[in-house]
A = this chain, B = another copy of it.
Amino acid sequence: MKKFILIINCKDQSGIIAATTNFILKCDGNITYVDQHVDHQEGVFFMRLECTLNNVEIQKEDFVKSFNTVVAHKFQMDWRLYDSDSVLKMALFVSKYDHCLYDILGRFKSGELKVDIPFIVSNHKDLKPIADSFGIPFYHVPTSAETSDKAQLRHLELLKKYNIDFIVLARYMQIIPKDIIAVYPFKIINIHHSFLPAFIGAKPYHSAFKRGVKIIGATSHYVTAELDAGPIIEQDVVRVSHSHSIKNLIAKGRDLEKIVLATAIKHHIDQKVLVYSNKTVVFS
């Protein structure tokens, strides 16, 4: 018995669900989960379907070819099929802050994050001991203004060498160049330490303190060319008061950042995030 995840989006129209579920049935499959969404404003249909195929002789390639001919072509679907057993390769970009790194590696080690982490890269050497203690290769790639081209080449080389599927910026604090974004469209996950779109850019906790907000937040989003403006995957908030200094806000925010980033990574790994119109559909 094999398990697959089917992700579909196309123009909203009649008969999509019936055609798709019928196809699965005819492949001797059983649908174990289906979630679907229609954006009525934009007239777009989204579906995420998990199924098991009883006929183990059906290969992924056969399914893909057949579904394309029988269903996808008719409805002009954008679609992808995932083998549930496959494990994605995730690269970690860090800087000097260690809390998100510890959190991700702890979840990784305990089996909560089903992913491979072939390497960690940083523009500083500070966090190398943590990478070492978890037995993960660590690369130091400095990123000054002068060396930025060289850094970008080195990053692309590492990403290619390790066959990386997606990138997580665990408080990396550096802007990702367009050439890397182009290779990983909606596959670079950032954690921003504010409730976006409030407090875009540097030092959001300082801005939050100055504005006197009563709640602070953290936002995980896909990186796009525009700073802190990519599709939001997950957000969370925590209540603060006048009694909290900037230092307190930063400490409170660390817990938010860890949980929001970990949640976004899990949604991405489980193929639960669909992107459109610079927004996300996140199936539960």
- Supply 30 A–B pairs (Cβ within 8 Å), ascending by A: A15-B30, A17-B17, A18-B22, A18-B24, A18-B25, A18-B31, A21-B22, A22-B22, A39-B242, A98-B109, A102-B102, A102-B110, A103-B106, A112-B251, A195-B195, A197-B198, A197-B213, A211-B279, A212-B231, A212-B232, A212-B280, A213-B235, A214-B233, A215-B235, A215-B236, A239-B239, A242-B281, A255-B259, A255-B262, A284-B284
- Cα separation A37 to B241 with both chains bound (whole Å): 11
- Cα separation A259 to B103 with both chains bound (whole Å): 12
| A58 interfacial by beta-carbon distance below 8 Å | no
Contact B284 A243 (CB under 8 A): yes
- Cα separation A279 to B240 with both chains bound (whole Å): 13
Say how far A11's CB is from chain B's closest CB, in angstroms. Answer: 13
Which residues A14-40 have CB closer than 8 A to chain B?
14-15, 17-18, 21-22, 24-25, 30-40
Chain B residues with CB below 8 A from A243, complex form: 37, 284
Chain B residues with CB below 8 A from A210, complex form: 279
| A154 interfacial by beta-carbon distance below 8 Å | no
- Interface contacts beyond A17-B34, A214-B232, A215-B217: sample of 11 additional A-B pairs, CB < 8 Å, sorted by A: A15-B30, A33-B36, A34-B36, A99-B110, A103-B103, A212-B280, A214-B235, A215-B235, A242-B280, A242-B282, A255-B259
Say how far A241's CB is from chain B's closest CB, in angstroms. Answer: 7
For this chain, the copies found in one complex come to 4
- A41, A134, A197 — which one has the most chain B CB atoms within 10 A of its CB? A197
Name the residue of chain B whose CB is nearest to the CB of A198: B198
Return the contact of A214 from the options B30, B106, B234 (Cβ within 8 A).
B234
Contact A211 B197 (CB under 8 A): yes
| A196 interfacial by beta-carbon distance below 8 Å | yes
Chain B residues with CB below 8 A from A262, complex form: 255
Name the residue of chain B whose CB is nearest to the CB of A22: B18
Which residues A225-284 have CB closer than 8 A to chain B?
231-237, 239, 241-243, 245, 251, 254-255, 259, 262, 277-282, 284
Given A215-B236, A236-B215, CB of A279 within 8 Å of CB of B38: no
| A133 interfacial by beta-carbon distance below 8 Å | yes
Chain B residues with CB below 8 A from A234, complex form: 214
Given A17-B31, A21-B21, A195-B195, CB of A110 within 8 Å of CB of B133: no
